[in-house]
């Protein structure tokens, strides 16, 4: 089959990936751990075009150009190298993340593309291999191949893949903060952190420890420890990023106010913890039975969405092709 369609969902890290050891092979400096979400998927069809002279990429029914086209083409070069095929491809994607939701789509996007391209080009379809391939598109995509909870090991080119990990059921309450203004991409900011942040080494050692503790907290089904590790790790990442030269600040005043509210809720007996990626949005985690109360208490700060652990990347039938 030379045409294939796959779907994958975004993920939010509880122990963050921030910094590359090798930016060609996309190897991270540390391992990380995440929850895959159950909404906002990306669906992607890859159609091999033996007669075409270049790859094309259509996103939400519009032809992509510039950097986003270039990233897809570079990714397909790796697929061609692995498969031995020289065929170009037509890639069509539908991204269901509302533009204002502020959830990065590179994780779901490259996880779906990795699986659809693997099928279309006859590459191995087991999750470890698809995860390894997705990594080359975007680091966080490595984890979106895996359902529910995933650990992505730092490893080397062969072993740097994500694997499932058992964790207690929980919900993520995504609070979308409208901070305006354009942010620097995580890719650029990561580079600057490695090169200029004096806290970078401490970030790496503390994240390695955080991942070990997270894995044991998950084994113990200990939500309290999971939450504490999550919030501490996220704030350490932001501290490390803020110490860049020139500085980068992703958290807006509203984001900080949400972290404060989360602590107040905790003090009042509603157990929830916060995290934030490379932007002003804050994601609270809570036990399933507490999620609605947390969502209500955070609604004044922005649009809130409650998300459960979601599916890994999956192939769809021909009738779902774009």
Residue ranges that bind ligand DP6, judged by CB under 6 A:
13, 16-18, 26, 32, 104, 106, 138-140, 186-187, 190, 277-278
Nearer to ligand DP6, 197 or 297 (CB): 197
Smallest separation, CB 17 to ligand DP6 (Å): 4
Q: Which residue is nearest to ligand DP6 (CB)?
A: 139
Nearer to ligand DP6, 67 or 318 (CB): 67
Task: Tell me how far apart the alpha carbons of residues 55 and 68 are, in angstroms, rounded to a whole number.
Answer: 12
Smallest separation, CB 85 to ligand DP6 (Å): 25
Rounded to 10°, the helix 106-120/127-135 angle is 120
Smallest separation, CB 122 to ligand DP6 (Å): 26
Contacts of 231-237 with CB under 8 Å at 24 or more apart are 231/259, 231/262, 231/273, 231/274, 231/275, 233/14, 233/15, 233/16, 233/206, 233/207, 233/275, 234/16, 234/274, 234/275, 234/276, 235/259, 236/203, 236/206, 236/207, 237/16, 237/18, 237/203, 237/207
Nearer to ligand DP6, 278 or 307 (CB): 278
Smallest separation, CB 51 to ligand DP6 (Å): 32
Nearer to ligand DP6, 234 or 262 (CB): 234
Task: Decide: residue 79, CB within 10 A, 0-12 exposed, 13-18 middle, 19+ buried.
Answer: buried
Smallest separation, CB 241 to ligand DP6 (Å): 9
Nearer to ligand DP6, 230 or 297 (CB): 230
């Amino acid at each position: 089959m030379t045409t294939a369609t796959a779907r994958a969902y975004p993920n939010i890290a509880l122990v963050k990936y921030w910094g590359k050891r090798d930016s060609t092979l996309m190897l991270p400096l540390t391992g990380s751990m995440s929850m895959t979400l159950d909404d906002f998927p990306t669906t992607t069809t890859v159609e091999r075009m033996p007669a075409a002279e270049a790859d094309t990429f259509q996103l939400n029914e519009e032809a992509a150009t510039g950097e986003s086209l270039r990233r897809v083409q570079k990714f397909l070069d790796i697929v061609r190298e692995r498969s031995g095929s020289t065929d170009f491809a037509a890639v069509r994607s539908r991204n269901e993340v509302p533009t204002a939701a502020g959830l990065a789509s590179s994780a779901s996007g490259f996880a779906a593309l990795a699986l659809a391209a693997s099928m279309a080009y006859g590459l191995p379809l087991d999750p470890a291999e698809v995860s390894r391939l997705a990594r080359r598109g975007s680091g966080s995509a490595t984890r979106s191949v895996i359902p529910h909870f995933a650990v992505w090991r730092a490893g080397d080119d062969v072993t740097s893949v994500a694997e499932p990990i058992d964790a207690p059921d929980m919900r993520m309450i995504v609070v979308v903060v409208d901070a305006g203004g354009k942010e620097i991409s995580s890719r650029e900011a990561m580079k600057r952190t490695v090169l200029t942040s004096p806290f970078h080494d401490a970030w790496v050692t503390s994240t390695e420890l955080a991942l070990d503790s997270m894995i044991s907290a998950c084994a113990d089904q200990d939500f309290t420890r999971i939450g504490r590790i999550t919030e501490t790790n996220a704030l350490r990442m932001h501290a490390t990023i803020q110490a860049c030269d020139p500085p980068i600040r992703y958290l807006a005043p509203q984001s900080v106010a949400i972290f404060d509210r989360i602590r107040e809720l905790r003090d009042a007996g509603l157990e929830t913890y916060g995290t934030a990626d490379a932007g002003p949005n804050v994601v609270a985690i809570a036990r399933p039975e507490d999620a609605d109360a947390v969502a209500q208490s955070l609604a004044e700060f922005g649009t809130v969405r409650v998300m459960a652990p979601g599916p890994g990347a999956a192939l769809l039938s021909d009738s779902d092709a774009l």
